Amino acid sequence: METEVAKLLATAIAIVAGAIGPAIAIGLIGSKGAEAIGRNPEAAPKIQTAMILAIAFAEAIAIYALVIALIIKFV
């Protein structure tokens, strides 16, 4: 019984800790990308491409945290 509670708590901590960083990163990337496009609208396609790529890499970190949380929960 106690080990199940510990697993659930560890799962929750893993997903929360693994989601905070990428969430902040995606917010900053979006903010700075919008700011850059506002300053130089002609460069919007290049900025948007780099921004989407950076967001994808940040999101991958959150997916890794989800995988770790699922491993903790079910193993």
* Residue 46 belongs to domain spanning: 2-74
pTM above 0.85, yes or no: no
What's 17's domain CATH number?
1.20.20.10
> How many domains is the chain partitioned into structurally?
1
**Residue-wise pLDDT tens for the chain (75 aa)?**
788 899 999 999 999 999 999 999 999 999 999 999 999 999 999 999 999 999 999 999 999 999 999 999 898
Furthest C-alpha separation in the chain? 61
Rounded Cα distance, 14 and 64, in Å: 10
Token pair 């970190």 is found at 61
Rounded Cα distance, 32 and 38, in Å: 10
Rounded Cα distance, 49 and 58, in Å: 14
